[in-house]
C-alpha cells in the first residue's frame, strides 16, 4: 500500500523549506548536482529536497549547510523541519511513550485555549467522557496498536484535564452525530452511565451540546473525520493512523466553516436531551 500524500499545509511547509535550501545553494554558487555529488547522494536527491518531495533529515540539513558554508543556519533549519514533521504524527509513534504521555501532551494547549469547538463522528468527546467510557476506548487502543498498557494512569490524566470545563473564562461547543450516542462502547452499563452524564452536562452554562439527528438532510455538511478547534488558531483532526495538526490560517478557516455547517444541522437543549434519552431507552 502506498503512503498517503501529506496534507496541503504540510506539503506547503516542506516546499517553503525546500525553497530556503535552494536559495542557500544558489547563494553559494553551486548547482544541485554539485551539492549531491559532494554529499554522496544520488543526483536527484537535491532536487527532491528543494521541491519538498522529500523531507530532509537532520543530517541532510547539516551536510547541506556545511557544503554551502552556512553551518550557522543548520540549527534553525533543523528546528523548522522538525516542526513540519510534528504536524502529522502517527499514533504508534505518539503512543510509544505511553497513553498517559499522549493525554499529558495536550494539556498546555487546553490550558491556554479559551474557545473550544469539537465535532465527533465516532465517540463521545473526551471532555465529556466518564472514566469507564475512557478506559473502554483505551483498552481498544492497546489491543489494536500494541500501545503500552497504562490505561489507569491515562484515564486519570484525561479526567483531570476535564477541569477546564469548570475553570471559568472559557466557552465550549460540542457537536456529535446521533450514532455516537447509539454506539455501545465497552458495555451497555458503561453507555447508560455515559449517556446519563451527557444529559447532566447539557445544563452547564458555558457549554453548548448539539446532536445531529440520524436521517437529517445533510445539505453541505457531510459527516467527516472528528476534529477540534482551539480558539481560531489551531485545528486537530483524528485520523485512523495519525493525528493531524493544522495551523495555517486558510485551513483552520475551512475547519471553522465546516463546524458551522455541522452545528447548524444539530439540535440543542430539550431536543438534544430527547435524542440522548432515546438512545438510553434503546439500551433497555
Q: Does 180 fall in a domain?
A: yes
Whole-number Å distance between alpha carbons of 32 and 34? 5
Q: How many domains does the chain have?
A: 2
Q: Does 260 fall in a domain?
A: yes
- Give yes or no: residues 32 and 118 share one domain: no
Could you read off the pLDDT of 84-130 as tens digits, one per residue? Answer: 766 666 666 667 778 888 888 888 999 999 999 999 999 999 999 99
Q: List the Cα angle 210/200/161 in 5-degree steps.
A: 85
What the block records as the C-alpha cell of 274 is: 430527547
C-alpha torsion 136→138→140→146, nearest 10: -150
**224 pLDDT tier (thresholds 50, 70, 90):** confident
pLDDT of residue 128: 96
Q: Does 64 fall in a domain?
A: yes
Q: List the Cα angle 147/152/158 in 5-degree steps.
A: 90
Whole-number Å distance between alpha carbons of 17 and 77? 8
pLDDT > 70: percent of the chain: 92
At residue 238, what are phi and psi to the nearest 5 degrees?
-100, 105
What distance lies between CA 272 and its chain's CA centroid?
26
Q: Does 258 fall in a domain?
A: yes
- Give yes or no: residues 73 and 186 share one domain: no
Q: Does 141 fall in a domain?
A: yes
**240 pLDDT tier (thresholds 50, 70, 90):** low
Q: Does 2 fall in a domain?
A: no
The owner of cell 490560517 is 249
- Looking at per-residue pLDDT, the higher value among 184 and 202 belongs to 184
Give yes or no for a contact between 58 and 81, defined as CB atoms under 8 angstroms apart.
yes
Q: Which residues pair with 230 in a beta bridge?
A: 116, 234
**Which residues 6+ apart lie within 8 Å of 61 measured at CB?**
21, 74, 77, 78, 81
Give yes or no for a contact between 143 and 135, defined as CB atoms under 8 angstroms apart.
no
Give yes or no for a contact between 133 and 186, defined as CB atoms under 8 angstroms apart.
yes
The owner of cell 493525528 is 243
Could you read off the pLDDT of 54-84 as tens digits, one per residue? Answer: 889 999 999 999 999 999 999 888 877 876 7
- Give yes or no: residues 159 and 58 share one domain: no
Average pLDDT of every residue of the chain: 88
Q: What is the CATH number of the domain that holds 225?
A: 3.30.870
| pTM for this predicted structure | 0.73
**270 pLDDT tier (thresholds 50, 70, 90):** very high
Q: What is the span of the domain harbouring residue 37?
A: 8-85
Closest C-alpha among 133, 91, 95 to residue 236: 91
Q: How much is the average pLDDT of 153-160? A: 92
Is the model's pLDDT at 12 over the cut of 80? no
Closest C-alpha among 20, 158, 35 to residue 84: 20
Rounded to a whole number of angstroms, the CA Rg of the chain reads: 23
SS3 242: strand
- Looking at per-residue pLDDT, the higher value among 255 and 2 belongs to 255
pLDDT of residue 205: 86
Burial call 95-122: b when 16+ CB within 10 Å, e when fewer: beebbbbbbbebeebbeebeebbbbbbb
**142 pLDDT tier (thresholds 50, 70, 90):** confident
Amino acid at each position: 500500500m502506498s503512503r498517503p500524500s501529506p496534507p496541503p499545509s504540510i506539503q506547503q511547509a516542506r516546499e517553503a523549506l525546500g525553497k530556503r535550501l535552494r536559495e542557500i545553494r544558489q547563494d553559494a554558487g553551486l548547482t544541485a548536482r554539485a551539492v549531491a555529488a559532494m554529499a554522496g547522494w544520488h543526483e536527484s536527491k537535491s532536487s527532491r529536497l528543494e521541491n519538498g518531495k522529500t523531507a530532509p533529515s537532520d543530517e541532510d540539513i547539516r551536510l547541506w549547510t556545511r557544503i554551502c558554508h552556512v553551518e550557522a543556519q543548520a540549527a534553525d533549519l533543523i528546528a523548522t523541519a522538525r516542526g513540519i514533521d510534528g504536524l502529522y504524527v502517527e499514533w504508534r509513534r505518539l503512543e510509544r511513550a505511553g497513553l498517559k504521555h499522549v493525554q499529558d501532551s495536550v494539556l498546555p494547549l487546553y490550558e491556554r485555549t479559551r474557545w473550544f469547538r469539537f465535532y465527533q463522528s465516532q465517540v463521545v468527546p473526551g471532555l465529556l467522557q466518564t472514566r469507564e467510557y475512557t478506559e473502554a476506548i483505551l483498552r481498544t487502543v492497546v489491543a489494536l496498536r500494541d500501545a503500552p498498557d497504562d490505561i489507569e494512569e491515562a484515564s486519570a490524566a484525561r479526567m483531570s484535564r476535564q477541569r477546564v470545563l469548570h475553570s471559568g473564562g472559557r466557552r465550549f461547543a460540542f457537536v456529535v452525530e446521533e450514532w455516537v450516542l447509539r454506539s455501545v462502547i465497552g458495555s451497555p452499563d458503561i453507555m447508560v452511565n455515559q449517556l446519563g452524564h451527557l444529559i447532566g452536562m447539557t445544563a452547564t452554562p458555558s457549554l453548548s451540546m448539539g446532536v445531529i439527528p440520524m436521517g437529517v438532510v445533510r445539505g453541505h455538511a457531510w459527516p467527516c473525520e472528528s476534529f477540534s478547534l482551539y480558539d481560531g488558531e489551531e485545528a486537530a483532526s483524528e485520523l485512523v493512523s495519525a493525528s493531524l495538526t493544522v495551523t495555517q490560517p486558510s485551513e483552520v478557516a475551512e475547519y471553522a466553516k465546516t463546524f458551522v455547517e455541522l452545528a447548524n444541522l444539530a439540535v440543542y437543549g430539550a431536543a438534544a436531551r430527547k435524542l440522548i434519552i432515546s438512545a438510553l431507552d434503546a439500551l433497555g
